Chains A and B, each alone.
Chain A
Amino acid sequence: MTTDGTNNVASDSLSDYELAQASARGDMQAFETIYKRHHRRVYSLCLRMVANATEAEDLTQEVFIQLFRKIGSFRGESAFTTWLHRLTVNHVLMHFRKRGVRLEKTTEEGEIGEIQDFLQAGAERPRFVDRIALDKAISELPPGYRTVFVLHDVEGFEHEEVANMLGVSVGTSKSQLHKARMRLRELLNKKTETKKETKNKGTKK
């Protein structure tokens, strides 16, 4: 179990389940250890879903306060991280609903465009998926694509679960995921070409 540099040697050796039980009995030190262990993943998940640091921090705060209220109900029937991530996802989705962010329908650019695109990319294959670039590209996706991509590819939920959480069909989840990946590919290719252009001093595509 990794910890985030907590000085509390005693808490370090306890499992999430034990810490959850302790927190439920009011042990703030235990809850702080839980925070230290898991806050970065919660924050990263929020950040990727909303693509805005301030909003993500506010959401993280809300999630942990909600977590404290609910932590007594964690019965250890699944991994604590799974439980916490579900909580986080549900909270962010509720946030989207309140803000009127529509996830289901995203403007569909012609598939024709996509095919032309990759056929032109040619046989040369630059190493272009660096994690920082991908992270940035994710933030540039429309919310519908981004949510499905984050839930499925980043967080590892299955399509059945994603569909359930978003209230869409499994087919929609799958097609959104595919479009998200295709769009990411487009965005990443653009970045690489931009890099090449600046290197070659303004060579046209």
Chain B
Amino acid sequence: MKEIPSSTQSSKSAAKILTALAGGFLVLTASATSSGAQTFNRAFAVSPERSELEVVNQTGTIKVTAGANPNKIVINARHGDGAAKVEATQNAMGKVKVEVTGRGRVDFEIAVPASSSIDLLSYQGAIVVTNLAGAVRARVTEGDIQIAGLRSARVDASCSQGNVSFSGEVLPSGRYTLKSFSGRVDAILPADADFKLSASSFRGGMDLGEFQMKFDKYSSQLVEASHGAGRASISLWTQEGSIHLRRKP
């Protein structure tokens, strides 16, 4: 696996026409000194069984999905306002790390092998993860987290201010933790999901009605219950928001 050198995007450049994943669009700079929208495109070769990705973003969205190529991590980043610096490196073990420093907005669209483990952090902005089967860790200080189409055994999503939603398979050995300090937590699970649930909401209440569960503890602030044989473990927490458990349609 080769090491690809990092690159720095300067913020002082003219308008550029982008033909990125989302289709073509034209961005013009407002003035000579403010930033334009630049792309940053990098691809890293990885082995699907040991594919790992870490992204640390300041402001902007991070979207990660299963890509068509099982041996590549493909990163597309679009700069917004400000002077952010994006650095993408790959270590000797093949783990890819993307790090943004400086004040500026960067939006990421990343395609990874479905079995990848990912670890995403964003200060401000949404995180969207779709169709993966590896371990997912996502943290946003201010922004929503949406995780959908997962077949993963380990999901850890937490945010300080924002909503967290998860929709996916529940594997028998799975551990799924969804937390939000002040937003709402939604877990959308298959009707035959087999899990132990621990749901705690200080203020916002809980709506767990779509599953016929066996209750161990039941109050409007703490529920400990199980569905089926109770093998997977699901932990939902919010301090000021509400918790919703829904059946997949």
Task: Tell me if chains A and B make direct contact, with any CB pair below 8 A.
Answer: yes
Digitize B201-227: 1 where CB-to-A-CB distance is under 8 Å, 0 elsewhere. 000000000000000001110000000
Q: Is A158 an interface residue (CB 8 A)?
A: yes
Q: How far in angstroms is the closest Cβ of chain B from A78?
A: 9
Give Cα distance in the complex from A158 to B220, angstroms.
8
Q: Is A117 an interface residue (CB 8 A)?
A: no
Give Cα distance in the complex from A141 to B29, angstroms.
71
* Closest chain B residue to A82, Cβ basis: B219
* Closest chain B residue to A160, Cβ basis: B218
Could you say which residues of chain A place their CB within 8 Å of the CB of B218?
158, 160
Give Cα distance in the complex from A40 to B218, angstroms.
28
Could you say which residues of chain B place their CB within 8 Å of the CB of A160?
218
Give Cα distance in the complex from A158 to B218, angstroms.
9
Which residues A129-181 have CB closer than 8 A to chain B?
158, 160
Could you say which residues of chain B place their CB within 8 Å of the CB of A158?
218-220
B: residues with CB less than 8 A from A are 218-220
Could you say which residues of chain A place their CB within 8 Å of the CB of B219?
158
A: residues with CB less than 8 A from B are 158, 160
Cross-chain pairs A/B with CB under 8 angstroms, 4 sampled = A158-B218, A158-B219, A158-B220, A160-B218
Q: How far in angstroms is the closest Cβ of chain B from A38?
A: 20
Give Cα distance in the complex from A166 to B220, angstroms.
20
Give Cα distance in the complex from A158 to B219, angstroms.
8
Give Cα distance in the complex from A158 to B217, angstroms.
13
* Closest chain B residue to A156, Cβ basis: B220
Give Cα distance in the complex from A160 to B225, angstroms.
15
Q: How far in angstroms is the closest Cβ of chain B from A155?
A: 13
Q: How far in angstroms is the closest Cβ of chain B from A152?
A: 12
Give Cα distance in the complex from A160 to B220, angstroms.
12
Give Cα distance in the complex from A160 to B213, angstroms.
14
* Closest chain B residue to A78, Cβ basis: B219
Give Cα distance in the complex from A64 to B76, angstroms.
70
Q: How far in angstroms is the closest Cβ of chain A from B178?
A: 24
Q: How far in angstroms is the closest Cβ of chain B from A81?
A: 14
Q: How far in angstroms is the closest Cβ of chain B from A167?
A: 18
Q: How far in angstroms is the closest Cβ of chain B from A200?
A: 44
* Closest chain A residue to B215, Cβ basis: A160
Give Cα distance in the complex from A160 to B219, angstroms.
10
Q: How far in angstroms is the closest Cβ of chain B from A76?
A: 16
Give Cα distance in the complex from A158 to B209, angstroms.
14
Give Cα distance in the complex from A172 to B220, angstroms.
21
Give Cα distance in the complex from A160 to B218, angstroms.
9
Q: How far in angstroms is the closest Cβ of chain B from A181?
A: 19
* Closest chain A residue to B218, Cβ basis: A160
* Closest chain A residue to B220, Cβ basis: A158
Could you say which residues of chain A place their CB within 8 Å of the CB of B220?
158
4 closest A-B pairs by beta carbon, nearest first, are: A160-B218, A158-B218, A158-B220, A158-B219
Give Cα distance in the complex from A186 to B220, angstroms.
30
Give Cα distance in the complex from A59 to B220, angstroms.
29
Give Cα distance in the complex from A158 to B208, angstroms.
14
Give Cα distance in the complex from A94 to B164, angstroms.
46
Q: How far in angstroms is the closest Cβ of chain B from A189?
A: 30
Give Cα distance in the complex from A58 to B218, angstroms.
33
* Closest chain A residue to B219, Cβ basis: A158
Give Cα distance in the complex from A7 to B155, angstroms.
54
Q: How far in angstroms is the closest Cβ of chain A from B59?
A: 42
